Amino acid sequence: MNIEKQLIDKIYSKKATIGIVGLGYVGLPLMLRYVDEGYSVLGIDIDPTKVDKLNDGLSYIEHISSNDIANAIEKNLFEATTDFSRASDADALILCVPTPLNKYREPDLSFVIETIDALVPYLRKAQVVSLESTTYPGTTEEELLPRIKQGGLEVGEDIFLVYSPEREDPGNPDFETRTIPKVCGGHTASCKSVGLALYSVAIDRVVPVSSTKAAEMTKLLENIHRAVNIGLVNELKVVADRMDIDIHEVINAAATKPFGFTPYYPGPGLGGHCIPIDPFYLTWKAREFGLHTRFIELAGEINTYMPRFVVDKLTDALNERGKSLKGSRILVLGIAYKKNVDDMRESPAVELMERLEKKGALVEYSDPHVPVFPEMREHCFDLSSIELTPENITQYDCVLLATNHDSFDYEMILKNSNLIVDTRGKYLEPLSHVVKA
């Protein structure tokens, strides 16, 4: 029996150990999905604090239950470690590590490269390595493949290499890891067969594509599609604002058309780990082929401009009330990148806070999902969430609605605020102390 068939049989018989490298917003839900199917999962992460917490049965992500983590450990189906030498214990290694941009808005693959470099000494025959991190087309072949080959393993015969982009949507009750279709491409036909087996046991539908590059491009297309359409509607928001038209009213009216229109909604900027970042992975790679992706880059420029537009609107609204932004007390409502989650990655609310503070405003925030402002690589605020009470709200010169969590009491906020700058279209009726931004 050849190695490919042996590994596929081991996966289908649930005798395979699943290794997940990177226990974050993508890795943890995937771990729980395999545990639910009865697989033993080894989690590997470089953060010892995170590993210790998980081994104690505690979750550090709001929408992932500590009970689920504890149950996985009690069943002896999950263990977390910082020891990369344990990678040889796993039959599958799924890489779920960050792929941010550097300060020049170029791809930063350091997490991917450092991870594969740490794993290579412990790779062995009859393993499958899958990269899930969003990246530019060619990454799997150009960065992972040569490093794996250096260890003397023949990819497609001894060991198998696939790319399958993550598709998590934290806080969305309509989808979960099991029900979101999984795209999968392999370096060879054998690699793809093993990859399809790996994911088909945990995901309802696996979508095969012809190569790792096609799978990488698929992920970028998904998020560039959203970024470009959000850029379009953000530009229309600026135009509509100048014409004294409520863009949210227009979008809601257009959305009644049962064909040919998909509603996208404007906001204070793009947030999350995908949409603000992924388009720049493709624009950077396209330059290697002598191409300039003008359409994508224009959308990026528009979306990047939105926090400045919001601050300008807020400044004008204060001026109309005889107040200067400098010295004004501003309460930012919601600092997560989208509603009903605690995820702060690339949140536009943080840029709004920084811009306001640089202009002399006294900035505080209220977010039930983020009780204390977290440590971030590029941002630092020594703040805790303010309790939303009528007495507290009246103390602020302006309330800036940045993230529209469902748990906010919008009627109470409306009744007690001196001024509201609404970036999310929550208040649709014309109101004297509500400014749309």
CA distance 40 to 407: 37
> What 3-state class would DSSP assign to 18?
strand
Confirm if 95 and 84 have CB atoms less than 8 A apart: no
Read off the amino acid at residue 25. Answer: Y
Identify the residue whose tokens are 């505080």.
364
DSSP secondary-structure letter at 162?
E
Measure the CA–CA gap between 79 and 69, rounded to whole angstroms.
10
Q: What is the dihedral of CA 68, 72, 75, 78, to 10 degrees?
A: -170
282 backbone dihedrals φ, ψ, rounded to 5°: -75, -40
Gap between the Cα atoms of 328 and 331, Å rounded: 10
**Residues recognised as catalytic:** 274
Dihedral angle sign, alpha carbons of residues 66, 71, 73, 79: negative
- The CB-side HSE value for 219 (13 A sphere, CA atoms) comes to 29
SS3 171: coil
In sequence order, the 6+-apart residues with CB closer than 8 A to the CB of 49 are none
Residue type, 251: I
Token pair belonging to 260: 């040919």
What is the Cα–Cα distance from 330 to 118, expressed in whole angstroms?
46
